[in-house]
Amino acid sequence: MHDPRQLLDPEVDAAAKLRRRGYVLDTDHLSKLVSRRSSVISEGDQARAESKKAAAEVGAAAKRGADVAELRERARELKNRITRLEEEQREVEAELHEFLLGIPNLPLDEIPDGATEEFAEEVRRVGTPPEFDFEPLDHVDLGERAGILDLTRATKLSGPRFAVFKGAGSRLQRALAQFFLDIHIGEHGYTEFSLPALVTRQTMTGTGQLPKFEEDLFRTGVADRELFLIPTAEVPLVNLHAGEILPLEDLPLRYTAHTPCFRSEAGSYGKDTRGLIRQHEFSKVELVQFVEEERSRAALDEILSHAEAPLQRLGLPYRVIKLAAGDTGFSAQITFDVEVWLPSQGTYREISSASDTGTFQARRAGIRGKGKDGKRAQIATLNASGLPIGRTLVAVLENNQQADGSIRIPEALVPYTRFEVINPDGTTA
């Protein structure tokens, strides 16, 4: 959500910034809405002042015993005018609000131009991709042969893009989630939350999923009650403080949660249809921070390092890229993607995104800050995946496979799985 004055400020040049994202800002329409709102507010204030004066005149005339019929008629006309102006103000403010909701965040100048991943800027690579003296299998073949992954029965239950895990596969999922949470809570200072997976339209709007991305969301309801399944825990975590004033002395706030996530993946059919890369339902450990606006860029580097930490512990090779302006998410002003190496594809694939939304989400959700001295401040929010369970499981299986089809468990994860190897038949040792 934007301050319309900022969008119209020539020094900000919001239209040029948004063009980098492929968004054309209709400044003429915005200017007319802002001007109309100011005019209506001014007329309303003037009418209320006149109404107050007319009421005083009616009272004074009545005390004198004068005929007040004409004065009362004038007072009624003013009240009717005030009612009409207030309705017009509500209408123009609603139109302006709806217009602003559809405008993406302004990208930071430091991110590269371009609309796709090929324009991304590689920041660093960590670890060396493994070399195999055999043809490596993908996670589907590895998991199904061992009997720990069943996509056929998942399709029978729910249709395509769902998964069933069994035995060591289920234990590995559970181990990864606990491993991630222990790192983020015990070492990075995050507070864990257990959250609803169903949220309101207002909650989805606060973080920017609505109104633009409604087709990507699963929606449900009972009678006249409408609810949405969360696409990420970022949605409820950020909106925990919707409409609140945060004490500045309490910042930064670092929150985490392990939740199911639901995405329709509208428009992506035909892409990554095999396996666990792009599922309708998956689980993820999410990281969210609330900081003062001026600290958000430094906080982004921090939350990115927190997202990388589990990959380093697991010994998984990855790289970090800075996304181009046209490839940056709607609510973000800058995003770093973390991409893990997948041997079966011979390339790096996204496993986490770390984004600084600046004040964009906080303004939409009505989150503000205030110090003990009365100082008011804008709040910035940041988020990162830390990490998705399914995609991490894919990387663990593929990078640690052996020639006989077994999978070795990374040493850091063994205390959580309580086994070191998944054998080709699904047994563990």
For the question of residue 391 being annotated catalytic, the response is yes
Q: Are 229 and 198 in contact (CB under 8 A)?
A: yes
Distance (Å, whole) CA 358 – CA 375: 19
Binding residue per annotation — 49? no
Binding residue per annotation — 263? yes
For the question of residue 364 being annotated catalytic, the response is no
Binding residue per annotation — 265? yes
Q: Which of 20, 21, 364, 391 is catalytic?
A: 391
For the question of residue 145 being annotated catalytic, the response is no
Q: Are 307 and 386 in contact (CB under 8 A)?
A: yes
Q: Which of 263, 296, 302, 308 is catalytic?
A: 263
Please state the three-class secondary structure of 3-38 as a single string.
Answer: CHHHHHCCCCCHHHHHHCCCCCCCHHHHHHHHHHHH
Tokens of 123: 């920041």
Q: Which of 296, 331, 344, 353 is catalytic?
A: 353
For the question of residue 305 being annotated catalytic, the response is no
Q: What angle do CA 102, 8, 3 make, to 5 degrees?
A: 55
Of 421, 410, 382, give the one whose Cα is nearest residue 180: 410
Binding residue per annotation — 73? no
Cβ of 121: how many Cβ atoms within 10 Å? 14
Q: Which of 36, 278, 295, 319 is catalytic?
A: 278
Q: Which of 43, 86, 144, 350 is catalytic?
A: 350
Binding residue per annotation — 286? yes
Binding residue per annotation — 411? no
Binding residue per annotation — 232? yes
Secondary structure letter of residue 62 according to DSSP = H
Binding residue per annotation — 158? no
For the question of residue 406 being annotated catalytic, the response is no
The distance from CA 358 to its chain's CA centroid, rounded to whole angstroms, is: 12
219-252 CB burial, b ≥16 within 10 A, e <16 = eeeeeeeebbbbbbbbbbbbbbbbeeebebeebb
Q: What are phi and psi of 81, to 5 degrees?
A: -65, -40
Distance (Å, whole) CA 250 – CA 379: 12
Helices (H), 194-271: 201-207, 234-239
Binding residue per annotation — 233? yes
Binding residue per annotation — 305? no
Of 309, 269, 271, 265, give the one whose Cα is nearest residue 287: 309
- Binding site per annotation, positions for ATP: 263-265, 350-353
- Binding site per annotation, positions: 232-234, 263-265, 286, 350-353, 385
- Binding site per annotation, positions for L-serine: 232-234, 286, 385
**Residues identified as active-site:** 263, 278, 350, 353, 391
